[in-house]
Amino acid sequence: MSVSLESINTQPPITSDIIQRAKEGLYNAQNPVIKNAIQQGLNDLETMAGGTFEKPIDGRLRHFLLRSLIHSLFRVKVEHPQNIPHRPVILVANHLNHIDPFLLLSECFASPYFHILGDARTLYNKWWKRFILGLSGGVIPLERRWGQETAIIAAAQAGNQELKPLAEAIEANVPSGESIKTLRQINKAVQVILEQEQGLMLFPEGRLGTTEGKLSLPLKRGTAIYALRSGVAIVPVALIGTKNLYYRKTLTLRFGKPLSFSQVKHPKRQDIDTVLNTLENAFIELLPSHYQEPDELKLFSKFLNHFFC
């Protein structure tokens, strides 16, 4: 593949952290235990997309396990609890850490039952995640390459020979996330879930944010498309304090008011942009304008950030 001098010069620097994260991702993609868990999730996805979806087990078990785990390690503060949904909605949040979906599930009601639309490898990469999610279900797994992996591939294509073996291994073992069949199955599964009056949880930034109080823009279109096609309301949630974890840190969930839009079976770009602009403004109102990391002892920080990664 030919690469211009301009593209070489504009490649972001590849740091040791990027390389390490890409290696972790590759390991997860090749690990047979994780691969089996993801495959089971994909099988469940195919079942849902086929319309023969059976409702999951009582959500109270998942809620109890996650709430017990989270509250044993952190202080949790819920703001505007009156906005916690009692009915099926599309629950969306900013994304700072892999703890985020589990934190949300620990504070929402057990009913409606929320299905997580999220990255497959980070949802199944730890034994405790596989245990809870394997027991309770409720995952729509996305198989896709991480930003670090994409950066490694781009650097190798731009001429970095040292990264070429790693890039080739990533391309051979990590799905790009562009499978038309899988994307259609996801869309169909979401439709079935919402038709059966269950909830959907997703993170419209599409990746982890780097800074507390800041959104990674633009927001992904999927949230708007699902809301418009189904007519189901969106409930935004600002997650505050989850970027860097430590023992007994206060993690805040700030629930926004439901955002309702008229149902449109075939939404146009203008319809989608309207929803995304409304959602972005809602997040801006909910997120802190000047976040200050607490000045306190940060016990077990390295362990807890690794435990939830």
pLDDT by residue for the chain (309 residues), tens only, comes to 333 334 334 456 899 999 999 999 999 999 999 999 999 888 888 888 887 666 566 688 899 999 999 999 999 999 999 999 999 999 999 999 999 999 999 999 999 999 999 999 999 999 999 999 888 888 999 999 999 999 999 999 999 999 999 999 999 999 998 889 889 999 999 999 999 899 999 999 999 999 999 999 999 999 999 999 999 999 999 999 999 999 999 999 999 999 999 999 999 999 999 999 999 999 999 999 999 999 999 999 999 999 999
Residue 107, domain extent: 58-143+179-308
Amino acid found at 44: D
Can you say whether the dihedral through the CA atoms of 114, 128, 96, 166 is positive or negative? Answer: negative
In a domain, 303, yes or no: yes
The CA distances from residue 129 to 27, 40, 88, 193, 204, in Å, are 17, 14, 24, 22, 22
In a domain, 205, yes or no: yes
In a domain, 284, yes or no: yes
> In terms of pTM, does the model score above 0.85?
yes
Question: CA 255, 71, 235 angle in degrees (round to 5)?
Answer: 15
Please tell me the total count of domains within the chain. Answer: 1
In a domain, 125, yes or no: yes
Tokens standing for 44?
Answer: 């469940």
Where does residue 305 rank: exposed (0-12), middle (13-18), buried (19+ CB within 10 A)? middle
Domain containing 198 — which CATH number? 3.40.1130.10
In a domain, 13, yes or no: no
